[in-house]
Amino acid sequence: MTSPLRLRIILGEDDARKLILPAGTPVSIEDLCHTVKTSFGLQQDIRLQYQDEDFGNEFMNMSDVSEVKDKGTLKVIFLQSPQEENVRTSQSQATESVSISSADTDDTEPISSSGSSPSSRHWVWPSVFTVPQFSYEAEFELEKANTACANGGTLLNPSPKLKSQILERLAEEIYKFKAYPTDSDLTDVAEALVKKHPCLREQGSFNGCYGWKISLKYKMANLRTKLRGLGCTEVTINSIKNKSGDNRQAAFNVKKPKRAEVNYCPQHPKGQTSESLEQERVAILSELTKRNNDSVVSAKMEKTFSYRRQEVLQGQPMVADFKSRWPALFTVREASVVKMHLDVACNLCFVVQN
């Protein structure tokens, strides 16, 4: 039985994370890079560096997957396009330069993945929910109320404006992780809120935050309604008009992620529609008939992932019908990609359980 591979992944100067690969060492560097990008929601192209013992554990560019060791440390280097490099250089000339010590062998530098698309979701629910920063006005009012609460135990009765600002900001933060948070999730958020801002505790509530939890529940429902009106796929698949005749009830058969599924129903890539992606699907059928064409097929399969995913969720096709429409998905190369996604899912499940 293959032993799991445990790795420490450095994404930035103050950002190091743990990655567990249940299937052991990947077959290639490309597979490892793909797993790292998928696990941590990275959008840019990357390469990896490992610690070379011959040079005092300095980071060196990885050239072979055999250089990966259990409990080893890998460093992610984000590759920037010439256009991005020009923008970054122009910005650096207008701001104070910051010295960053690293052992990189070129001009690229690790950056965080915080700039990912809002239509995608890449993180599982945190073990401890972090209350976000509110507006300056709201933070100022809460700071004064927290001081009064600490000195005399006076609780704040928030105005409708302040309460609305708090709920809207919390709903935005929750949606980064889940569109359909559970009752337990909302309880975690409410408890974190009153822990950070004791002045918001509720008198007469058994846990001091039950009313906040109920308000968050309705706020999330309102947010989903707004996003449904904007055409957000993750919530439109659960609209009544997209359900069959026997299931046309709002609360029946709600399609939502299960545990480690962090990007359950992604939006189409920018500039793409269902019609254009259907043309790509037809093009894949033609490309499959050509020799030595795996890279083209893989690129088109990756491009049409959102279209294929929505087809499965909405249409729930039979396997035979789905195979006839997407035969490339059942090739050896694509099966290896599916295996990598399963390894990532196993890793995320392990993180959630622990």
Distance (Å) of CA 129 to CA 60, 115, 118, 174, 176 = 36, 20, 19, 9, 12
Give the span between the Cα atoms of 201 and 323, in whole angstroms: 55
Tell me, yes or no, whether 230 and 160 share the same domain: yes
Query: Which residue, among 345, 253, 271, 269, has the nearest Cα to 307 in the 3D structure?
Result: 269
Residue 229 belongs to a domain: yes
Range of the domain at 72: 5-78
Give the span between the Cα atoms of 211 and 347, in whole angstroms: 36
pTM of the model: 0.54
Question: Do 134 and 169 form a contact (C-beta atoms < 8 A)?
Answer: yes
Beta pairing, strands 46-52 & 72-78: antiparallel
Chosen domain end from 49, 78, 107: 78
Give the span between the Cα atoms of 200 and 170, in whole angstroms: 14
* pLDDT for res 214: 95
Give the span between the Cα atoms of 13 and 100, in whole angstroms: 8
How many CA atoms lie less than 13 Å away from 270 in the CB half-sphere? 5
* pLDDT for res 279: 92
* pLDDT for res 90: 40
Residue 87 belongs to a domain: no
Tell me, yes or no, whether 226 and 289 share the same domain: no
Question: Do 21 and 351 form a contact (C-beta atoms < 8 A)?
Answer: no
* pLDDT for res 247: 58
Tell me, yes or no, whether 224 and 147 share the same domain: yes
Tell me, yes or no, whether 226 and 141 share the same domain: yes
Mean pLDDT by 10 residues, the chain (354 residues): 82 86 83 85 85 89 88 86 42 35 35 43 76 92 93 93 95 89 93 94 90 95 89 77 59 64 75 89 89 86 86 83 88 72 58 51
Give the span between the Cα atoms of 256 and 233, in whole angstroms: 11
Residue 178 belongs to a domain: yes
Residue 119 belongs to a domain: no
Residue 103 belongs to a domain: no
Tell me, yes or no, whether 230 and 169 share the same domain: yes
Residue 104 belongs to a domain: no
* pLDDT for res 44: 79
CATH number, domain with residue 73: 3.10.20.90
* pLDDT for res 344: 58
Tell me, yes or no, whether 61 and 140 share the same domain: no
Number of domains making up the chain: 3
Tell me, yes or no, whether 272 and 340 share the same domain: yes
Residue 100 belongs to a domain: no
Tell me, yes or no, whether 229 and 147 share the same domain: yes
Tell me, yes or no, whether 226 and 293 share the same domain: no
Chosen domain end from 62, 78, 94: 78
Residue 320 belongs to a domain: yes
